[in-house]
Chain A
Amino acid sequence: METQDFSVNILDPKKIRICRDESGRLKLIFDEAVKINLKRVVRAFPLTMPWRYIILIDENNREIGLLRDIKDLDDSSRKILKEELEKIYFIPKITKIQRIKEEFGVLIWETETDKGPRRFEVTSRRDIKKIGKRRIIIRDADGNLYDIPDYANLDQKSLVLLESVI
């Protein structure tokens, strides 16, 4: 156990680069000199600001620092980081709702997502969470997440189905 440090180390996007090694792990390069293996990249605000405030964690579970916005990175680093984040946070976006059936209080959703068709069950209406004005995040019975970034953009039928459960 080390002494805790409460200050936040904000990383300068101009001074860092992110790449992958041969086995696909992420590496952070400081000033083209110091190389650090990354164990994880974590979103501080995964739902509200998915591409901002990314925290980098090294192999010893130590926090290296905080990246304010991935768009400040160079193209290749940004691409790699984005790819990694999209992998770690697998939150498909629902593009169309085919059907929502209610069976004994369990909602069975049949949807199209940007990752392909998906059928899932929601056991509590509290798991359909409204974020901001028009964003909806759904957590299914197994703990998987789904995102509707702006429900006003859904087609009429999906919208009617969604309205019936919120």
Chain B
Amino acid sequence: MIESDDDSSIILSNDSVEELPESIKETLSRMGLNKRIRAVVSSDITPRNTYGKTWLILTDEQILVFDPEASNDPIAKVALGDIKDVEIRKYVGNNALIIKTQKDEMEIVRFTNTLRPKFEDLKRRFENLYRVSWKWSSKEPRIKEGPVETQRRCPKCGRVIPPWMSTCPVCMSKRRVIFRLLDHVKPHLPLAIFGFTLTVCFTFLNLLPPYLMKILIDDAIGNANLTLLLWLTLGLVFIYLSRALTAAGRSYLLGKLGQKIMVDLRRKLYEHLQVLSLSFYDKNETGRIMSRVMSDTERVQFFLTWGIQQFFMDVATLIFVAVILFTMNWQLALIVLTPTPILAIGTKIFSKKIHGIYHKAWRKWADLSAILADTVPGVTVVKAFSQERKEIDRFNRKTHELYDVNVRISFLEGLFFPLIGFIMTLGAVSVWWFGGRQILSGLLTLGELTAFISYTWSFYEPVGRLSNMSSVILRAATSAERIFEVLDTRPEVHDSPNAITLPSLKGHIQFYNVSFAYESGEVVLKNINLEIKPGQKIGLVGPSGAGKTTLAKLILRFYDPTEGKITIDGYDLREVKQESLRKQIGIVLQEPFLFKGSIAENIAYGNPGAPPEKIIEAAKAANIHDFILSLPEAYDTDVGERGHRLSGGEKQRVSIARALLRDPKILILDEATSSVDTATESLIQQALERLMENRTSIIIAHRLSTLRNADKIVVIDHGEIIEEGTHEELIRLGGLYSRLCRMQAALAVISSE
């Protein structure tokens, strides 16, 4: 269908050719275009605003749009030569492909978010072709090939992969995961084997008493043999005692094994989490990561120790007991077996049903605690807007929902367990009936029957547990998957094997043609060329989202540039050890992050073991010393979680002290003064001035007054440097910077009035 001349390879790929409906094919061949198709793409919304296919056909000369359900003829035609630009406009729940021509723009097709990746890809391919043909003579595509992934679907089966999984749960091999899990038992093999041996002993000891009981009834009591009775009684006591001891030993060993495995897993996970790049944290929610470290490891260890042991124990018991039952009396054994399928199937159905309801109860419970987590810290707002009544009602409603679910659980459990018990009793009672008749006809002794009944009970128990085993394995495999996903993620920013340790820096930073896009494909920085000389103070200015913070993060090498390179003192950042780089950079963020601990610990966070006088010196320079001293516990004052006991300005100054103590060669201030009042600001400003002395400083600021003393001001908008120069030069230039300055001056007048 497609001719493959040299140019077409740029736009064509397998996924931009779809099978057209016959009616369109006919029209196309009538128009004489069927040989010149370059791409065929279908959307999933019709021009009539319903679900359905609209076809977009790209030929050498034009774009055609078909709505086969409405008409066989194209509903729109655009000549490629007229096209100025192509845009995908995001609406709500759908998107439109907009084509802009010299005089006009038109919406040629709409599609749901599900198809967005396909159309993004089409747009990119189209742009490549278009640029090659009309703008540049160079044939080299400027934008990298390959579709942008906006959501994850399994390449094999097309299912949405749950955000908490790395691979498709349907296509993932459970066995592989479980075997990989078992690897974690290996380092503790002696413990595991010992525990397992005890488990086998325990199973065996469980099976002995009924047999002794038989001898006791038939031989000791039946034959009035007092000596035998005594020995048997002693024997029983001994067995029960050993069983108790074995059980205790087993619990201890398996518990220890479980904890060891868990400690290992958590340590590995946490170590790996610290190594991972920031992009991993961009992609995963904090709560998810936390639950992997806490609950997934817990579940996995439970499975590895108790789950597996219980499984073997149940299987062993089942087989042993079956053998015993059949050797003792096969007719009765068959009767015992009859309710087994009902037990197995019943348990399976019940656990499936109750699992859903347990889950629901868990969700309701989570809702309830979410309300608490919301309103308790937000109590000031609740009271200020006098919404106590509303909050109480909300809480009551949720409590009642939880109540309903829990009552349902009680009902189902209350129904199921007695029912299962009844079925088991039925089995046992039948044995009494048939066994009783056999005794009467002399085929069976009373002792044998008693033993038989005992074994019957120990046969039924594992049946229920085993029929539920598959869901236990499934849950453990899912948890294990989540853990392995983290462990398998390779940090995107990593030290190359021959990375060098940076020597003490002068602080000469250079950006060469740096472009950067986040993984989502969103381009944040475009072609940045920038030189910052040692000791210079550079101000970065621009609207929110212009890319200022990203630029700073690139200097810290939290991410690597997508294109171009950054050097410091001539060293390419990709070729130096991350630690040696970050050691020499200090950063003060807009929202300072303090860790749980004392003020002193927080100041010394980057330099553990710094002498106290240095800490005090730093605090003095940061204008926080006097405040700290006014606290009853001074430098030992606990700042609380995330420093919540300090005000914003206080936290900020603590973080400045932290940066000062580190004595970095390069300093990055990311809107360090934007969230504090004017009086505090001047305190912080003084501290910052001190901090910036003799250092290469990069200051990201909204308040332009902070930049008066900067050696150079760089204005960034939409990821590009649009102005560069000193304050005076930029004012004279009359561009964005001067406009921002005028605005802020006007605001200052208003606020001082």
Contact = CB atoms under 8 A, between A and B. Distances in A.
A106 interface: yes
Contacts of A90: 45, 49, 91-94, 110, 112
Contacts of A141: 151, 160
B110 A104 contact: no
Contact of B112 (A117, A125, A142): A142
Contacts of B740: 1
Interface string A70-108: 000000000000000011111110000000000111100
Interface residues on B, range: 35 or more
A118 interface: yes
Interface string B330-369: 0000000000000000000000000010000001000000
Contact of A104 (B49, B112, B165, B739): B165
B307 interface: no
A24 B363 contact: no
A7 interface: no
Contacts of A86: 49
B363 A88 contact: no
Given A1-B736, A23-B106, A106-B162, A144 B169 contact: no
A24 B107 contact: yes
B116 A142 contact: yes
A132 interface: no
A129 interface: no
Given A23-B104, A144-B112, A91 B93 contact: yes
B398 to A, nearest CB: 12
A105 B162 contact: yes
Contact of B114 (A115, A124, A142): A142
A116 B52 contact: yes
A14 to B, nearest CB: 29
A155 to B, nearest CB: 21
Interface residues of A, number: 34
Interface string B154-180: 000001101111000110000000000
B543 interface: yes
Given A89-B92, A121-B160, A143 B113 contact: yes
Contacts of A11: none
A112 to B, nearest CB: 10
Contacts of B743: 1, 3
Given A104-B165, A117-B51, A87 B160 contact: no
B746 interface: yes
B105 A87 contact: no
Contacts of A113: 51
Contact of B363 (A91, A106, A121, A125): A125
B50 interface: yes
B110 A24 contact: no
A1 B112 contact: no
A157 interface: no
Nearest to B356: A164
A115 B51 contact: yes
B163 A103 contact: no
Interface string B91-120: 111100000000011110010111010000
B478 interface: yes
A77 to B, nearest CB: 19
A143 B543 CA distance: 28
Contacts of B104: 23
Interface string A1-27: 101000000000000000000011100
A3 B746 CA distance: 9
Contacts of A87: 49, 91, 110
Given A1-B736, A103-B169, A104-B170, A123 B52 contact: no
B478 A123 contact: no
A123 B164 CA distance: 9
Given A106-B159, A123-B163, A144 B114 contact: yes
A89 B91 contact: yes
Given A87-B91, A104-B169, A121-B160, A144 B113 contact: yes
A113 to B, nearest CB: 7
A145 interface: yes
Contacts of B356: 164
A92 B92 CA distance: 11
A88 B91 contact: yes
Given A90-B45, A118-B51, 17 more contacts: A23-B106, A46-B92, A87-B110, A88-B91, A89-B91, A89-B92, A89-B93, A90-B49, A104-B478, A115-B50, A117-B51, A120-B114, A123-B162, A123-B163, A142-B150, A142-B160, A144-B93
9 contacts: A25-B105, A90-B45, A103-B159, A104-B165, A105-B162, A105-B164, A118-B51, A124-B163, A141-B160
The 9 closest A-B pairs by CB, nearest first: A116-B51, A90-B94, A104-B169, A145-B93, A142-B114, A90-B93, A121-B160, A142-B113, A143-B113
